[in-house]
Structure 1
Amino acid sequence: MGSIWEIDFYSRPILDEKQKKVWEVLVCESPSDIRTKPESLFRYAKYCPSTEVNSVWLRTALQEAIDKAGEAPIKIRFFRRQMSNMITKACQDVGLPAQPSRRILVLNQWLKQRMEEVYPQEPGYQGGTNPSVRLDSPLPQRLPDALEGQQWAFVSLQAAEFAEMPDWEIGFGEAFPLELANVTPETRIPGVLIFSPRALPIAGWLSGLELACLNFDTKQGERLVLETGATESWILANIRSPQTLAEAKGYEKAKKAANGVHFIGVQSDPQAESFTGFWLLQDFNLA
């Protein structure tokens, strides 16, 4: 399987000599494995004059990134909806599929680091707000009936236990090195396990959704909401019993203590020793 890239193309808090905003493209590799060394992930950055902001310039920059990396990724993730047309067109022109996604862990951290350390050192830097990654709160949809799990449970694992994840039997899934999230080996990582005889189609469907995070939501009732893609969300389960409500609150508390890190697992039944699907996630709003 080839690599997946994350991309951002947007203005930065820097003015050029004509007092126009300087734009920048950032390209970085998504980690897909718990063993990935963050320092080994590919990165590419290039400033763009405001007069050249178009899909042609971006296509050229993407080709430069591909040449620098030595190979093209299998797809590109982007989170800014307002740049969707330009990014999608540039990616198509270099033969790459582009997918809206909030699973941009490395890009999120890189943007924050550049906002704090890089842009303030540039001539023409303008302080103030220049938002990087902001996650929307879309209205959640109901899961398709055929994909609802028959049973689910709140669980947790110590961060150190994820060192053995490469040895787990997992069908669909994706992970990232926990050092990216700055959690200690002793940190408890909360999660939800979904059990169903239809574990395979559920895991297969989830694998195509660009999973972002799983939240305990209280805006309209009390429920577990799975956020996916750039704006989509799904009601995974409604919380009804006092005991489950307490567990859901504990899940959110543990997620916050773990810098937003959590997971979703799909199994055929509670006795299964393998995972049909397993995804390690991070909620940026809590990181």
Structure 2
Amino acid sequence: MGSIWELDFYSRPILDENQKKVWEVLVCESPLDTRTQTDSLFRYAQFCPSTQVNSTWLRMALQEAITKAGKAPRQFRFFRRQMNNMIAKACEELGIPAQPSRRTIALFHWLQQRTEEVYPNQPGYQPSTNPSVHYEPSISQRLPDAITGQQWAFVNLEAAAFEEMHEWDIGFGEAFPLQMIRGIVPETKVPGLVIFSPRAVPLAGWMSGLELAFLQFNNSSSGGARLCLESGINDNWILASLKNQQTLAEAKAFEEAKQKASGVHFLAVQSSPEAESFAGFWLLQEINLP
């Protein structure tokens, strides 16, 4: 099936001798299940002079990464919308699709580590706290009628339970090793939402093509209380409208548990509460991209 690589190409808080920002390309392999050993994931980093920031340089850097890895990914994921044209062109010339996505968890944690440990040690380092990524709120969309869930429930699992996730019967899904997340210990309660639907397989199959980002409880005066699914770069789907005090309390508890679990949570799809298999299961993390 091939691997998925996460990609970032942007300026860093480092100035060159001409007081221009140094750019950098980062490429890392996406972990796709909980058994992945993070130290075995492929990584590639290369600084780029500000005078050579273009799709040609990027394509050559990506080709070098592929050569070093000894294999090409089946897809690139990237989260910076402002770099869409340059990244898309470079990847197209390589014959590899590039997908805008906020599911760049491994890249996010690597960027955090480099921001704390690598960039401050570079000549010309200039501390910067201004985020470069801003997502405008999008209009919430309803799930297609044909695949809407009939029931749903909030649940919690201890982080230790995910060590056996590879043994679960799962149709569609994706996960990552919880060891890569700061603050997660085996006893951490990881909250989640399980959707039950007689059309569980079509629902899970449809969701698998969305580049799932995270679940979020929204309560606004205009839209009311809703549980939403964020996907892609800026898509927002209404999973459930919350109309009574019990479900509102459960949604608030879900958000609180998510924050305590460093943003980690999960989404599952089953045919019924009695089902022993999952049509879909995704481990998610809400992250603030830099």
User: What TM-score, normalized by structure 2, do the two folds share?
Assistant: 0.96
Structure 1 contact 157–188 (Cα < 8 Å) conserved: yes
- The corresponding residue for 1:123 is 123
Q: Counterparts of 1:215-234 in structure 2 under 5 Å? A: 215-219=216-220, 220-234=223-237
CA RMSD, Structure 1 to Structure 2 (Å): 1.4
Give the distance between the partners of 2:135 and 2:106, measured in 1 at CA. Answer: 15
Displacement of 1:136 in angstroms is 5.2
Give the distance between the partners of 1:181 and 1:133, measured in 2 at CA. Answer: 21
SS in structure 1 opposite 2:39?
Answer: helix
Displacement of 1:44 in angstroms is 0.3
Structure 1 contact 135–285 (Cα < 8 Å) conserved: no
- The corresponding residue for 1:171 is 171
SS in structure 2 opposite 1:222?
Answer: strand
Give the distance between the partners of 2:135 and 2:277, measured in 1 at CA. Answer: 32
- The one-letter code matched in structure 2 to 1:257 is K
Give the distance between the partners of 1:240 and 1:75, measured in 2 at CA. Answer: 40
Give the distance between the partners of 1:188 and 1:128, measured in 2 at CA. Answer: 34
- The corresponding residue for 1:261 is 264
Asked if residue 277 in structure 1 is aligned to residue 283 in structure 2, the reply is: no
Displacement of 1:25 in angstroms is 0.3
- CA separation of 1:80 and 1:104: change in aligned 2, threshold 3 A: same
SS in structure 2 opposite 1:114?
Answer: helix
Q: Which runs of 5+ in 2 are unaligned?
A: none
- The one-letter code matched in structure 2 to 1:192 is L
- The corresponding residue for 2:201 is 200
Displacement of 1:137 in angstroms is 3.9
Q: Deviations over 1:145-204 (max 9, x none)?
A: 112101111111111111111110000000000011131100111000011111111000
Percent of residue pairs bearing the same amino acid type: 67
- CA separation of 1:226 and 1:172: change in aligned 2, threshold 3 A: same
Give the distance between the partners of 2:155 and 2:120, measured in 1 at CA. Answer: 43
Q: Counterparts of 1:1-287 in structure 2 under 5 Å? A: 1-131=1-131, 137-182=137-182, 183-219=184-220, 220-285=223-288
Q: Deviations over 1:95-124 (max 9, x none)?
A: 101000000111111111111111111111
Q: How many residues align?
A: 286
SS in structure 1 opposite 2:119?
Answer: helix
Give the distance between the partners of 2:25 and 2:280, measured in 1 at CA. Answer: 33
- CA separation of 1:111 and 1:253: change in aligned 2, threshold 3 A: same
SS in structure 1 opposite 2:165?
Answer: helix
**Runs ≥4 in structure 1, deviation > 6 angstroms?**
none
Displacement of 1:128 in angstroms is 2.5
SS in structure 1 opposite 2:201?
Answer: helix
Give the distance between the partners of 1:128 and 1:256, measured in 2 at CA. Answer: 25
Displacement of 1:129 in angstroms is 2.1
- The one-letter code matched in structure 1 to 2:108 is N
Give the distance between the partners of 1:35 and 1:137, measured in 2 at CA. Answer: 35
Displacement of 1:139 in angstroms is 2.8
Displacement of 1:22 in angstroms is 0.7
Give the distance between the partners of 1:125 and 1:212, measured in 2 at CA. Answer: 32
User: What TM-score, normalized by structure 1, do the two folds share?
Assistant: 0.97
- CA separation of 1:55 and 1:285: change in aligned 2, threshold 3 A: closer
Displacement of 1:142 in angstroms is 1.5
Displacement of 1:284 in angstroms is 1.1
Displacement of 1:207 in angstroms is 0.2
Displacement of 1:135 in angstroms is 5.6
Structure 1 contact 213–227 (Cα < 8 Å) conserved: yes
